[in-house]
Amino acid sequence: MTTETAAPAAIDADAETKLTEAIAAASQAEASTPGAQRQLVIINWSGEYDKVMPTLIMASVAAASGYKAQVFLTFWGLLPFVKDEKRITGENWMQKMLSTMQRPGISHLKMSKMNFLGMGPWMIGKLSQQYNVASPKELLEACQLMGVEFLPCQMTMDMFGLKREDMIDGLGEPVGAATVLELMTEERTASLFI
Partner 1 sequence: MSEAIHTTVDAKGLSCPMPIVKTAQAAKNVPAGELIEVLATDPGSVKDFAAWTRSTGNAIVEQSEDGGVYRFVIKRA
User: Where do contacts with partner 1 occur on this chain (CB under 8 A)?
Assistant: 1-5, 23, 26, 30, 38, 57, 60-61, 63-67, 131-134, 139, 142, 145-146
CB nearer to partner 1: pick between 30 and 169: 30
CB nearer to partner 1: pick between 30 and 173: 30
On the 0-12 / 13-18 / 19+ scale of CB atoms within 10 A, 73 is buried
Got the DSSP string for 4-66? PPPP-TTS-HHHHHHHHHHHHHHHHHHHTSSS---EEEEEE---SHHHHHHHHHHHHHHHHTT
- Distance in Å, CB of 133 to partner 1, minimum: 5
CB nearer to partner 1: pick between 12 and 85: 12
CA–CA gap between residue 110 and residue 154 (Å, rounded):
24
- Distance in Å, CB of 138 to partner 1, minimum: 8
- Distance in Å, CB of 1 to partner 1, minimum: 5
- In which region does residue 64 sit, left (phi positive, over 0), alpha (psi from -120 to 50) or beta (all else)? alpha
- Distance in Å, CB of 26 to partner 1, minimum: 8
N-to-C CA span, the chain: 36
- Distance in Å, CB of 29 to partner 1, minimum: 11
> In sequence order, what are the beta bridge partners of 189?
39
CB nearer to partner 1: pick between 39 and 99: 39
CB nearer to partner 1: pick between 58 and 167: 58
Which DSSP category does 77 fall into?
G
